[in-house]
Amino acid sequence: QKEVEQNSGPLSVPEGAIASLNCTYSDRGSQSFFWYRQYSGKSPELIMFIYSNGDKEDGRFTAQLNKASQYVSLLIRDSQPSDSATYLCAVRFPLFFGTGTRLTVIP
Amino acid sequence: DADVTQTPRNRITKTGKRIMLECSQTKGHDRMYWYRQDPGLGLRLIYYSFDVKDINKGEISDGYSVSRQAQAKFSLSLESAIPNQTALYFCATSDSNRGPETQYFGPGTRLLVL
């Protein structure tokens, strides 16, 4: 079983919709969880981190963590074409990354 | 100027050659990392260093070696390059004294082994 698993997509949503990205992890001892965004040909950049069960909101982004289910998700509200990128889930430290989910927001 | 720089940005080499990828940072971070990215496989950790005297293997260290010459410099070497080492390589840094410990990535080095 891989350390971190993501649906590779691609995921397409219309502009203004909510995009939901999901990730599961295998190590129950993982304490920290990160979402990175990577535009084509660019390096990954941090969007959000979450440590505690529940939701964490930052602008249009909400990270959700459920340690009992070993599940972390990222919601993007009011999706914009500029959100089109690959989203990488990462756990613990040093980071283990999922394979990423490619998101396309259709104008 | 970029906080994390990688040289070269692109490199073409032949099977069996020894090559070195270099990473420098001006962020003052103590920790540095090397990852490779392959289509469909995501980012995988090769080596990491928590300080100048500390080197640790990651998920896929076979065929690679590293050197932490200074706090700001971390080099990755391919002793004898092979075609399946063709990939995009990223260096990253983090600061253990600042929470949460976020990794910052360099622009990447695209390596092609013929």
pLDDT, averaged across chain A: 92
The residue type of A93 is F
Higher pLDDT, B84 or A8: B84
Best residue in A3, A45, A92, A95 for a mutation probing chain B (most B CBs within 10 Å): A95
CA distance B79 to chain A (A): 24
Please give the share of chain A, as a percent, with pLDDT higher than 70.
98
Average pLDDT over residues A15-25: 96
E-strand spans in chain B?
Answer: 4-7, 10-13, 19-25, 31-38, 42-51, 54-57, 64-70, 73-78, 87-94, 104-105, 109-113
Which residues pair with residue A64 across a beta bridge? A55, A73
Q: Given the structure tokens 């979450």, which residue do they identify?
A: A50
Contacts of B100 in chain A (CB under 8 A): 32, 49, 51
Q: What is the mean pLDDT of each run of 10 residues along chain B (114 residues)?
A: 89 97 96 93 92 94 96 96 96 86 92 97
Query: Of A4, A26, A70, whose CA–CA distance to B44 is shortest?
Result: A4
Question: What are the pLDDT digits (tens) for A44-57?
Answer: 999 999 988 899 99
Q: Name the interface residues of A facing B (CB cutoff 8 Å).
A: 8, 32, 34, 42-46, 49, 51, 88, 90, 93-100
Q: What is the pLDDT of residue A92?
A: 76
DSSP string, A55-68: EEEETTEEEEEETT
Q: What is the pLDDT of residue B102?
A: 84
Residue A84 structure tokens: 């089109």
pLDDT category of residue A1 using cuts at 50, 70 and 90: low
Question: What are the pLDDT digits (tens) for A37-85?
Answer: 999 989 999 999 998 889 999 999 999 999 999 999 999 999 999 999 9
Question: How far is it, in rounded angstroms, from Cα A33 to Cα B77?
Answer: 30
Closest-CA residue of A relative to B45 is A96
The residue type of A68 is A
Q: What is the pLDDT of residue B2?
A: 67
Question: How far is it, in rounded angstroms, from Cα A81 to Cα A85?
Answer: 9
pLDDT greater than 90 at residue A17: yes
Closest-CA residue of A relative to B108 is A43
Taking a C-beta distance cutoff of 8 angstroms, is the pair A100, A38 a contact?
yes
Q: Which of B40, B102, B108 sits opposite A46 (nearest CB)?
A: B102
Taking a C-beta distance cutoff of 8 angstroms, is the pair A23, A72 a contact?
yes
